[in-house]
């Protein structure tokens, strides 16, 4: 029996480029950077004072009382889910709640809630720790809030695999539909970690760029002057459903989410395997799972975070899996504009990949002034057109802990 | 010395901030759970805010007896006396 076809019917985001998909996509096509200098007092002492904060504060769009009961990461997720739900044409649709699932990932969870309550504990004592702290800080809180919002009863899950979390959520959502556990799954990732502690921690492990000049120049995947990633925040949410269910309700379909590959490096807790073997296996498994040939892939939204090692390793993975067909693939890293959204990265970049297939336009990688000679990829430095006909694209995500997830999408 | 009305109106502001209930609805005869829809976690937040605002202690054991806004106002008046 062939596996159930899974399609994408709704998209939503709040990102450093905009408060919704349209503004984010427009920003990507324009090659606009979402980076900004941090104006908070706490940023003064940090070794890194540039990040990519969301363009629209969630407090501007959410009900105040509901928002104060959610961590910032859950606020982002709910904003993105509301857009995706509406975009999928689901408001007012009668659904079986037992056939509706949620898989929303986070890399770090409610870290700002945890830390602000610790501040309150130290300053004013245990009585001042919020009774809402636990339901706010738990990493599954964004998923649970979305589940409550739409009455999802088929299962509400939160994979945690660092920067691969968002893609892992999409992969698990595909599984839920293929295994017959749900007809519709709200999938994606969220992250809100622009706070002095995680920033100091990432900076001290030499992961963040230390550039302190023009914020727009910080994230520069594959460029010789790259020196680490730009921390971003936000959420990406997709509504995926069985093709049969989407068809029965006459839903607009953006793309098929054709398959996924998940592997683990088993190499090091923080360093990627320099040969990229785990990532190579993830891409190969995504192709196998999707029944796609290397030549079907015409676009890759790369993980490429702007770190010296990782960007090179990903090039090796692409060549190892696609062979000569790699020459016909237009590669981009939208992280050059959004920064690295950690547990939301895979979700936001899957949205970018789907939009690229849907509009047959690949957004550019900005700041690629001097291509690292160790990288042999056709990287878009301006908007590039994709060919007509049935084509496929990949979105790669890799995370600390050695997690690798590649997702394959196809045009419809 | 704060009057009953002063305490009620300050408490109403806290309930509004925590639970979004319009301050004018927070009247002495209203039940926190049945009339104002203040859930148990929000009630803890209201109590802690009230302790700070009125400089009183409201023990956890006492909270279950504060069924109405009037109960809370009376408790605070006694505690301040």
Provide block-wise average pLDDT over 10 residues at a time, chain A (412 residues).
Answer: 86 98 98 97 94 97 96 98 98 97 98 98 96 98 98 98 98 98 98 97 96 96 98 98 97 98 96 92 98 98 96 96 98 98 98 98 98 97 98 98 98 96
Selection from A133, A407, A206 nearest residue A292 by Cα: A407
> How crowded is residue A180: how many other Cβ atoms within 10 Å of its Cβ?
10
Q: DSSP letter at A274?
A: T
In a mutational test of the B interface, the residue from A127, A129, A134, A136 whose CB has the highest number of chain B CBs within 10 Å is: A127
CA dist A370 and A301 (Å) reads 20
Nearest Cβ partner for A131 among B20, B45, B51: B45
Strand A255-264 versus strand A403-410 pairing type: antiparallel
Q: What chain A residue is nearest to B43 in terms of C-alpha separation?
A: A131
Contacts (Cβ under 8 Å, ≥6 apart) of B42: B18, B19
Contact (CB<8Å) B45/A130: yes
Tell which residue, A166, A314, A156, has the closest CA to residue A232.
A166
A340 is catalytic: yes
The span from the CA of A151 to the CA of A100, in Å, is 8
From A245, A340, A358, A403, active-site residue: A340
For residue A264, the cross-strand partners are A403
**Set of chain A residues whose Cβ sits within 8 Å of the Cβ of B45:** 130-132
Q: Is the pLDDT of residue B17 over 60?
A: yes
Residue B76: predicted pLDDT: 96
Q: Is A303 tagged catalytic?
A: yes
The CA–CA distances, whole Å, from A212 to A47, A50, A221, A240, A350 equal: 9, 7, 17, 40, 30
Given B34, B39, B55, B61, which residue is catalytic? B39
Q: Which of A131, A133, A137, A138 to mutate to test the interface with B (most CBs of B within 10 A)?
A: A131
| Residues ≥6 apart with Cβ < 8 Å to A106 | A73, A139, A142, A158, A160, A165, A189, A190, A191, A343, A344
Q: Does B37 touch chain A (CB under 8 A)?
A: no
Residue B68 has pLDDT above 90, yes or no: yes
For residue B16, what is the nearest residue in chain A, using CA coordinates? A65
Estimate to the nearest angstrom the gap between the alpha carbon of A294 and the chain centroid: 24
Residue B1 has pLDDT above 80, yes or no: no
Residue A349 confidence (pLDDT)? 98
Min Cα–Cα distance to chain A from B3, Å: 27
Burial B10-25 (b: 16+ CB within 10 A, else e): bbbebbbbbbebebee
Contact call for residues A149 and A141 (beta carbons, < 8 A): no
SS3 A351: helix
DSSP letter for A2, please.
P
| Alpha-carbon gap: B19 to the closest alpha carbon of chain A (Å) | 6
Instruction: Examine the pLDDT at B2 and tell me if it is beyond 90.
Output: no
Segment B44-67 shows an average pLDDT of: 95
């Amino acid at each position: 029996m062939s596996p159930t076809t899974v399609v994408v019917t709704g998209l939503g985001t709040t990102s450093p480029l905009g408060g919704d998909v349209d503004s984010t996509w427009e920003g990507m096509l324009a090659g606009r950077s979402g980076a900004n200098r941090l104006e908070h007092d706490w940023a003064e002492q940090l070794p890194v004072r540039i990040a990519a904060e969301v363009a629209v504060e969630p407090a501007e769009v959410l009900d105040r009382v509901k928002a104060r009961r959610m961590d910032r990461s859950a606020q982002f997720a709910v904003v993105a889910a509301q857009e995706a739900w509406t975009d999928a044409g689901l408001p007012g649709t009668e659904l079986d709640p037992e056939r509706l699932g949620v898989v929303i990932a986070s890399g770090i969870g409610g870290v700002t809630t945890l830390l602000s309550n610790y501040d309150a504990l130290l300053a004013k004592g245990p009585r001042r720790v919020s009774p809402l702290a636990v339901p706010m800080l738990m990493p599954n809180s964004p998923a649970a809030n979305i589940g409550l919002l739409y009455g999802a009863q088929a299962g509400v899950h939160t994979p945690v695999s660092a920067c691969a979390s968002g893609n892992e959520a999409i992969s698990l959502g595909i599984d839920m539909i293929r295994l017959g556990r749900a007809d519709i799954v709200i999938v994606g990732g969220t992250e809100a970690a622009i706070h002095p502690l995680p920033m100091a921690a990432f900076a001290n492990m030499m992961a963040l760029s230390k550039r302190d000049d023009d914020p727009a120049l910080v994230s520069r995947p594959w460029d010789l002057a790259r020196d680490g990633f730009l921390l971003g925040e936000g959420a990406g949410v997709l509504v995926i459903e069985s093709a049969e269910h989407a068809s029965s309700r006459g839903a607009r379909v953006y793309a098929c989410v054709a398959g996924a590959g998940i592997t683990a490096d088993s190499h090091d807790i923080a360093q990627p395997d320099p040969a990229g073997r785990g990532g190579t296996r993830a891409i190969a498994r995504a192709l196998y799972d999707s029944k796609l040939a290397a030549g079907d892939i015409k676009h890759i939204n790369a993980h490429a975070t702007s770190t010296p090692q990782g960007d090179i390793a990903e090039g090796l993975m692409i060549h190892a899996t696609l062979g000569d067909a790699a020459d016909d693939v237009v590669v981009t890293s939208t992280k050059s504009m959004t920064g690295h959204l950690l547990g939301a990265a895979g979700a936001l970049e899957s949205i970018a990949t789907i939009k690229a297939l849907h509009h047959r336009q690949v957004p550019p990688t900005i700041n690629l002034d001097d291509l690292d000679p160790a990288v042999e990829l056709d990287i878009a430095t301006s908007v590039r057109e994709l060919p007509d006909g049935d084509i496929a694209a990949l979105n790669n995500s890799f995370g600390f802990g050695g997690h690798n997830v590649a997702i394959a999408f196809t045009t419809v | 010395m704060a009057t009953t009305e002063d305490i009620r109106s300050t408490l109403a502001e806290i309930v509004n901030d925590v639970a979004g209930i319009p301050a004018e609805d927070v009247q002495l005869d209203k039940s926190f759970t049945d009339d104002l829809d203040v859930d148990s976690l929000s009630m803890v937040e209201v109590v802690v805010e009230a302790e700070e605002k009125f400089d009183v202690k409201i023990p956890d054991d006492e909270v279950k007896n504060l069924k109405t806004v009037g109960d809370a106002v009376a408790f605070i008046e006694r505690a301040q006396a």
